[in-house]
Amino acid sequence: MRAIAVEQGQYKTYILSDPTNSARLEVVPERGGIITRWRWRDRDLLYLDAERFANRELSVRGGIPILFPICGNLPDNTYTYQGQSYHLKQHGFARDLPWQVTAQSQPDPLSLTLTLTSNNQTYAVYPFDFCLEFTYQLQGDTLNIQQRYLNQSAEPMPLSTGLHPYFQVADKSRLQLDIPAEQYQDQITKQTHAYSGGLDFNQTEIDIAFGSPTRQQAAVSDPEAGVQISLSWDSAYTTLVFWTVQGKDYYCLEPWTAPRNALNTGEHLISLAPGATLETCVTMTAKNI
């Protein structure tokens, strides 16, 4: 039966399970509201660095971290708002703060809703009142991540948001990429290159951004694992980032609403009016190949 269970280990973990599809989703609210595991047909689709996950002082490397209110980094971790400088570290603070479980649904739909609200810690680096609501819905081969961003400030709230899924892979050289773009910017060299479907996985690190994808869906096929992961997103997302490091068994395919440093440049930056709400959704689907 499709159900939600709770296990208490180092962290309280919510487990969404769908036995009919051999699907399982594990969520840890206190570690940034993160999905730590997505298991499908006896395969673990996500990578997780267990040592970093156990250390509360470190950001999690693995699972599906939440990026807010920025994606990527800022020069010197600094931005200016109304003449005042603020320091905001890479990818923002949502992935490091505890979230609260505010709703559950089972068996149909099978979903878990988490909420993060502004507090004294966030005001120090981001002077806005907000409420974020994420609903993780597991449905067969599909994971829906429904998001709601509410500006509770008396002034417009600038933001960008994204997801940073770490997909598990044993042999990156065999990956087949279907990314809807003709060029990308190398985030290390800042150079722009033509893209025709392949990447050189012999590099020490690949950190590239595809701006303005031509369609709202991408896929990566892993012939060795016999699985394809597809991502789709709505019109709020303007940038798709691919990142991996040599010698690590993961690749990241990340939908962002804006490129890095948007809080300074304004490029594709979302500005929510007072009392306004932004609703977005990212869908991930697995299938055998």
Domain edges within the chain: 3-288
* pLDDT (tens digit per residue) in 231-252: 999 999 999 999 999 999 999 9
CA distance 277 to 163: 19
Give the Cβ contact number of residue 108 at 10 Å.
Answer: 9
User: What was the pLDDT predicted at 42?
Assistant: 86
Q: Which residue matches tokens 């505010």?
A: 102
Strand duo 277-288 + 142-151: pairing: antiparallel
Backbone angles phi, psi at 54, to 5 degrees: -75, -20
Backbone angles phi, psi at 20, to 5 degrees: -65, -25
**Percent above pLDDT 90 for the chain:** 98
Strand duo 270-272 + 176-178: pairing: unpaired
What CATH number matches the domain at 3-288, 3.60.70.12, 2.40.110.10, 2.70.98.10, 2.70.98.50?
Answer: 2.70.98.10
User: pTM, whole model, 2 decimals?
Assistant: 0.97
Tokens of residue 135, six digits: 């609903």
* pLDDT (tens digit per residue) in 122-169: 999 999 999 999 999 999 999 999 999 999 999 999 999 999 999 999
User: Mean pLDDT of all residues in the chain?
Assistant: 97
Per residue in 157-168, is it b (16+ CB within 10 Å) or e — as a string? Answer: bbbbbbbbbbbb
Give 122-185 as a DSSP string.
Answer: HHTTS---EEEEEEEEEETTEEEEEEEEEE-SSS-EEE--EE--EEE-S-GGG-EEE---SEEE
As a whole number, mean pLDDT of residues 61-65 equals 98
* pLDDT (tens digit per residue) in 24-46: 999 999 999 999 999 999 899 99
Q: Which of 211, 228, 246, 113 minimizes the C-alpha distance to 167?
A: 228
pLDDT reading at 21 higher than 90: no
Beta bridge partners of 166: 252
* pLDDT (tens digit per residue) in 256-266: 999 999 999 99
* pLDDT (tens digit per residue) in 129-139: 999 999 999 99
